[in-house]
Chain A
Amino acid sequence: DAKTTQPPSMDCAEGRAANLPCNHSTISGNEYVYWYRQIHSQGPQYIIHGLKNNETNEMASLIITEDRKSSTLILPHATLRDTAVYYCIVRVAPLQGGSEKLVFGKGTKLTVNP
């Protein structure tokens, strides 16, 4: 089972910031938070990951609360092409050799409206 909880759907106006919440109250101290998104009928795309500090890259920002029990993915200026399902994933313990098993929940379907 996924170790995260996300709202099933959200709407956002084009050009505005989209703030997607994720609850991961049982996260362990050495587990990272990853975000992926999946545009309809395509493979998931990596967005960002973080441990405890806030992170920013060219796609998004990740805000992790001090107790690490929740996080928020921020798309600063959402466009229509950002309409997708966004998955918040807590990295489970690495498999032998270091490769990772990603556990995907149902995610949040973000709809960006014109």
Chain B
Amino acid sequence: DGGITQSPKYLFRKEGQNVTLSCEQNLNHDAMYWYRQDPGQGLRLIYYSQIVNDFQKGDIAEGYSVSREKKESFPLTVTSAQKNPTAFYLCASSLAGTTPTDYEQYFGPGTRLTVT
């Protein structure tokens, strides 16, 4: 089946450690996104990428890094510089066209990261 996978579903780390969250899609989508969600809040954009080897910062990029070496993959690294890394992280993908339907974003199941 086509879709987006994120792994692992739950992740625990000690403070001061970098951690990488996986996101893979087989929808042949050009654009991929990373969002962060805190309890009771909406989603906030961390990074996005429209094509391979290119990505841009979102609203809350500080303390995070990404790479886009393959169209299917968009891993997110939460670095030790991120002050409050504990959150629910969601990856999404979409076409990068110009019609409203192209903007429909497909979301993965999310990774819940806990840093202690």
Within 8 A of B (CB), among A70-102: 87, 91, 94-102
Complex contact A91–B100 (CB within 8 A)? yes
Contacts of A103 in B (CB 8 A): 42
Contacts of B41 in A (CB 8 A): 106
Complex contact A2–B103 (CB within 8 A)? no
**Docked CA distance A106–B106 (Å):** 19
Give the one of A42, A51, A100, A103 with max B CB within 10 A.
A100
Give the one of B43, B98, B104, B106 with max A CB within 10 A.
B43
Interface residues as binary, A98-114 with B (CB distance below 8 Å gives 1, 0 otherwise): 11111111110000000
**Docked CA distance A45–B44 (Å):** 16
> Counting CB contacts under 8 A, is B112 at the interface?
yes
Complex contact A51–B45 (CB within 8 A)? no
Question: Interface extent on B, as a size class?
Answer: 20 to 34
**Docked CA distance A49–B42 (Å):** 19
Complex contact A51–B100 (CB within 8 A)? yes
A interface majority secondary structure: loop
Contacts of A96 in B (CB 8 A): 50
Contacts of B45 in A (CB 8 A): 101-102
**Docked CA distance A100–B92 (Å):** 11
Question: Interface extent on A, as a size class?
Answer: 20 to 34
How many Å from the CB of B90 to the closest CB on chain A?
5
> Counting CB contacts under 8 A, is A21 at the interface?
no
Complex contact A102–B110 (CB within 8 A)? no
Contacts of B108 in A (CB 8 A): 43
- A-B complex: 9 closest residue pairs judged by Cβ atoms: A43-B107, A104-B42, A99-B31, A100-B103, A104-B43, A97-B50, A99-B96, A99-B50, A98-B98
Write the residues of chain A forming the contact surface with B, with a CB cutoff of 8 angstroms: 2, 32, 34, 41-46, 49, 51, 87, 91, 94-107
Known: A43-B109, A95-B48; 12 extra A-B contacts, CB below 8 A, are A32-B103, A41-B112, A43-B107, A43-B108, A44-B43, A49-B104, A98-B102, A100-B31, A102-B43, A104-B35, A104-B43, A106-B40
